[in-house]
Amino acid sequence: MSGTIIQEQEQYSCPECNGIEFISDTQRGDVICRNCSIVVDKILEGTHFLDRVDGPDSRMGSPESRRNTVSTSFRVFDANADMRDKFRRLYNAANSSYDAVEENKGRILSILTRLGFSEHGRNDLMFELKKIYAAEKRKGNKVTNIFLVCTALTIKHMKNRGMACSINDIVSIFKESGTKLSSKAVRDYIIESGMSYKNSSAESFIPKYLAQLKSNEVLRQRLENIDRDDDLAYEKLITSIEIIATKLSKIKVKGRKPSVFSVSCLYIATNLVGERYLGEQLISKEEISRFLSVPSTTLREHCRYVMNHLKLNL
């Protein structure tokens, strides 16, 4: 690029780095900041969008864009791809018309659909998310991670609708979609924002964990061995386990995590069925802990509580 170095008067400086030294590009008529390489195009100013056509040295614009009336200053980022992306992000963050919710709407809706939200549920959550985002913008606050707010609202809506969910599970699903989150950050946001919702019940977790147990080949083989002559024996036993576990999950407990308590109920129900038909346990605490990814020490304490309450000895 050919050009000469010029120095502007003190009243004019680069809008990005406040530099006062510029390069005058004689071939294209651009004035370029010597420090950050931003093109400050004084000639092409106007009210219409300018774009490149047929090569880097040609431009397209309406006659209005070349009049003396100045309403918008167009800046063309020509340095390199990395610099263009950098300043585009800076511009979007500072521009009041930038909407992070609309920018990530498709991604958020796909995650909510995967979590089983209906169309009505997705619309409700998106409405609340936009409301929070707009309120923060009016206060002049920057929402650094729109997915953090969305994750907290997802947990709130799922719990209020009686859907089984835990913070770790929801965060892991959001992270699989490429978002940067942590369970601790979501918990902190929920506490700091004062977000309230209904507590999950152990009963709501029974269908979720039972579905995972049904797909486990080890338990399936043990249940099928009980009665090989009956083709429906496996489904009947699973139904019996579900009924017993659901009844056990209704035991009133305080200070116990619903998700782990539901697993303890499934463990006891499965072994009650095994004792009834085989005279032995069908699954151990270590196995169900591994199958359902639940801490074995916590599960052991929950099982002890239920068995003492019912005076069982498994």
45 or 217, higher pLDDT: 217
Evaluate if residue 8 carries a pLDDT over 50.
Answer: no
Evaluate if residue 231 carries a pLDDT over 80.
Answer: no
The token pair that represents 49 in the structure block? 């969008």
Residues 22, 40: contact at Cβ < 8 Å? yes
Distance CA 259, CA 263 (A): 7
Rg (CA), the chain: 31
The per-residue pLDDT for range 14-70, each reduced to its tens digit, is 777 777 776 665 555 566 777 776 665 544 333 333 444 444 444 444 444 444 444
The per-residue pLDDT for range 118-128, each reduced to its tens digit, is 899 999 999 99
> Which of the given ranges, 70-79, 120-129, 291-300, has the highest pLDDT on average?
120-129
- Spatial neighbors of 162 by CB under 8 A, at least 6 apart, are 198, 200, 201, 204
Evaluate if residue 116 carries a pLDDT over 60.
Answer: yes
Q: In what order do the strands lie in the sheet with 39-46?
A: 3-7, 21-25, 30-33, 39-46, 72-76
Q: Give me the phi and psi of 54, to 5 degrees please.
A: 55, 50
75: left (phi over 0), alpha (psi -120 to 50) or beta: beta
pTM comes to: 0.51
pLDDT value of position 314:
62
Band of pLDDT at residue 73, cut at 50, 70 and 90: very low
Among 57, 51, 50, 13, CA closest to 34: 13
Residue whose pair of structure tokens reads 């070349």 in the numeric block: 66
What domains does the chain contain, in order, with CATH numbers? 3-94 (no CATH), 100-193 (1.10.472.10), 202-310 (1.10.472.10)
The per-residue pLDDT for range 146-170, each reduced to its tens digit, is 899 999 999 999 888 878 788 888 9
